[in-house]
Amino acid sequence: MDNRLNIIAQMLELGENVLEGLEHICNKVKQGNAGQTMSLMEDILEAFGSLESAVLLVYQENSEALAGMTAELKGSFNRLVDAYEGNDELEILKVIHSNVIPGYKSWLKCLKNELSQVN
């Protein structure tokens, strides 16, 4: 497998792992265990940053749709970090459930679509 295809495969696997992690965090927060999720959230934010960097390696230009979704998702992640910093479990749940997970699912779907077009 050529290097670029290997990177794409790893990106897709990491993308799915991030989604699983977000859903796990959401479930833990629903159970009142937001404090136990901070380390995993830090890992997810790092993984998302890695995905964002990898997109630039695979593509020199990503679509306006993906760029817009990335900016929106980063804003949602910033609101989530603020909620964690404020130790506001209700806000953490609201942001992750209403903004981060749906936004990430849309972003991941767009990413998969774009990566499927990379030759």
| 51-62 pLDDT per residue, tens | 998 887 777 666
What are 72-79's contacts with CB under 8 Å, separation 24+? Answer: 72/103, 73/48, 73/100, 73/103, 73/104, 73/107, 76/100, 76/103, 77/45, 77/48
Percent of the chain clearing pLDDT 90 (strictly above): 72
Q: Number of folded domains in the chain?
A: 1
Q: Considering the entire predicted model, what is its pTM?
A: 0.92
The CATH code of the domain that includes 99 is: 1.20.120
Instruction: Please write the tens of the pLDDT for every residue from 26-41.
Output: 999 999 999 999 999 9
